[in-house]
Amino acid sequence: MPLPNPPAGAAEAPAALPDPTRFVLVRTSHAGNVGAAARAMKVMGFSELVLVQPRFDDVLSREETVAMASGAADVLTRARIVDSLSEALEGSSWACATAMTPRDFGPPTYAPREHFATLAASAHRVAFVFGPERTGLLNEDVYRCHACLSIPAPADYGSLNLAQAVQLIAYDWRQALGGYAVAPRTTDAALADGAALEGLLQHWQQVLHDVGFLDPASPKKLLPRLHQLLNRAQLTQDEVHILRGIARAVDKARR
């Protein structure tokens, strides 16, 4: 299904929106799921949460909600509670319902990644709509949306916890938008130089000879192979000290 461009007035959307993505939870029953959903959003860099008629009016401040948010209290602080899905979708130009099965007369159904590949290239302000834990979205809620997302799962058991579904959708959408780079492991430890590796190798050679593992008359390729192993390992100076300490312990135990 081709994505139409946002209407001409879309550029006049409120500038206060922190990002163009909104997560909408409709008639949520469990406070913990609201907190866990907020956490799932934040870890993927999203911040706009709207609740439609949640079971508890004070759900955003309940102890279970805050506990499950686990550091995403700012998402809860900015979240809004509204009376209808129509109100929750104001300012969004493309709404995606989440449902296990397609609905008769409803919008086309896609796997998230399939749809996001196209949607991410558009200028739409996207809303993802999630239904109640026990029943899912009503047909009338799905009909208000432009697309229906179905997370691929086994046909005999495709039911996901609400917060888990939010996490999966948030992850796939973030990946479609470009994702985050994985931070490389950093260390202040200096790599061992050639002299340190040579000293370690000589130490091993002596210990291996003393325990009878190495025949000095016929070393074959053991020492060159150990040398290449050490080179591939890119040992730090501390790691060299550890390995030499092990060699000393072996020598001491042998005596």
Output the pLDDT for position 205.
86
Mean of per-residue pLDDT scores for the chain: 86
Output the pLDDT for position 11.
42
Output the pLDDT for position 15.
39
- 121 Cβ contact list (under 8 Å, min separation 6): none
- Residues 160-176: tens digit of each pLDDT: 899 999 999 999 999 99
Tokens of 69: 């948010």
Output the pLDDT for position 103.
62
Is a pLDDT exceeding 80 seen at residue 157?
no
Q: Which domains does the chain have, with CATH numbers?
A: 18-176 (3.40.1280.10), 194-254 (1.10.8)
From 237, 125, 254, 126, select the one nearest 191 (Cα to Cα).
Answer: 237
d(C-alpha 131, C-alpha 182), whole Å: 32
Is a pLDDT exceeding 90 seen at residue 6?
no
For the segment 45-53, the average pLDDT, to the nearest whole number, is: 96
Residue 14 pLDDT level (bands cut at 50, 70, 90): very low
Is a pLDDT exceeding 80 seen at residue 66?
yes
Strand-pairing partners, residue 52, are 26, 82
What's the order of all strands across the beta sheet hosting 48-52? Answer: 80-82, 48-52, 21-26, 126-130, 94-98, 147-149, 109-110
DSSP secondary structure letters along 74-142: HHHHH-EEES-HHHHTTT-SEEEEE-SS--TTS--EE-HHHHHHHHTTS---EEEEE--TTT---HHHH
For the segment 119-129, the average pLDDT, to the nearest whole number, is: 94
Output the pLDDT for position 189.
75
Backbone angles phi, psi at 126, to 5 degrees: -95, 140
